[in-house]
Amino acid sequence: MRPSGRKTDQMRKVSFERNFSKHAEGSCLVKFGDTHVLCTASLEDKTPPWLRNSGKGWVTAEYGMLPRATGDRMRREASAGKQSGRTQEIQRLIGRSLRAVVDLEALGERQISIDCDVIQADGGTRTAAITGAWIALHDCLKWMETRSMIKVEKVLKDHIAAVSCGIFATQPVIDLDYLEDSAAETDANFVMTGSGGIVEIQGTAEGKPFSQDEFLILLGLARNGIDELVAMQKQAIG
């Protein structure tokens, strides 16, 4: 029995609120239940130094949590003077995931910076962030298309969405909330494309090691969940 009463293969209620931000070229407030992440996409003329004169652009991401997004207040990273290892790990993952479906040559020598800021956290912030960031990125590219800078279909090759799965109380379940996440024996994050290709797998045994069979069940759950998420993305931008 899941704390939320959800079935093992049932995700939380997911929603996308596009154009949440007045200023950003693309933006989306994504909610996976009580996990709320604001994703903005900012078009910048500067390209990273190693890409100058290469004809290629770049997509990068930064991640942050408001100090009281969580049950206990966490120290503000700006005041601590550095980003934690966890923060850096997540923002590297988001950037890599998005670049997997972007044609950097078709983007041209520009950088799109995706900021994913967790307004409220209840588990699964990185998977919600990736899923919402895709919408913000899409809308930024649409903004560019309107100004004849690029063609969206040339730059954005596929959808990207992500979900966590884990073994909670011996049961494989999808889309863990905080209560499940902190008690799970195994925790895995999956990032896949709209056409079913795998982009990232990160599986960690929190308690005892897991078997290949268990892992394949989690992968199966994730595949169905990501299909749902991609369908919702399509509806959102439709």
Residue pair 176/32 in contact (Cβ under 8 Å)? The answer is no
Select the residue interacting with its own copies from 59, 100, 133, 161 (CB under 8 A): 100
Residue pair 126/189 in contact (Cβ under 8 Å)? The answer is yes
Interface with its own copies includes 187 (CB under 8 A)?
A: no
**SS3 state of residue 104:** helix
Q: Of residues 127-186, which lie at the interface with its own copies (CB under 8 A)?
A: none
The rounded distance, in Å, linking the Cα atoms of 43 and 50 is 18
Candidate segments 8-16, 148-156, 162-170, 188-196, binder of its own copies by CB under 8 A: 188-196
Candidate segments 6-14, 110-118, 168-176, 226-234, binder of its own copies by CB under 8 A: 110-118
Residue pair 151/106 in contact (Cβ under 8 Å)? The answer is yes
Select the residue interacting with its own copies from 7, 49, 53, 71 (CB under 8 A): 71
| In the complex, minimum distance from the CB of residue 137 to its own copies, in angstroms, rounded to a whole number | 13
**SS3 state of residue 59:** strand
| In the complex, minimum distance from the CB of residue 152 to its own copies, in angstroms, rounded to a whole number | 20
Question: Is 47 marked within a binding site?
Answer: no
Select the residue interacting with its own copies from 78, 151, 154, 169 (CB under 8 A): 78
Interface with its own copies includes 94 (CB under 8 A)?
A: no
Question: Is 196 marked within a binding site?
Answer: no
The rounded distance, in Å, linking the Cα atoms of 169 and 196 is 28
The footprint of its own copies on this chain (CB under 8 A) covers a number of residues equal to 63
Interface with its own copies includes 18 (CB under 8 A)?
A: no
DSSP type of residue 50: G
Q: Residue 207 region, left (φ>0) first, then alpha (ψ -120 to 50), else beta?
A: alpha
The rounded distance, in Å, linking the Cα atoms of 39 and 132 is 6
**Dihedral sign from CA coordinates of 90, 96, 100, 101:** positive
Q: Could you list the residues that contact its own copies (CB under 8 A)?
A: 21-24, 27, 34, 38, 40, 42, 44, 62, 64, 66-71, 73, 76-83, 85-89, 91-92, 96, 100, 113, 115, 117, 119-120, 122, 188, 192-193, 195-205, 208-212, 215, 219
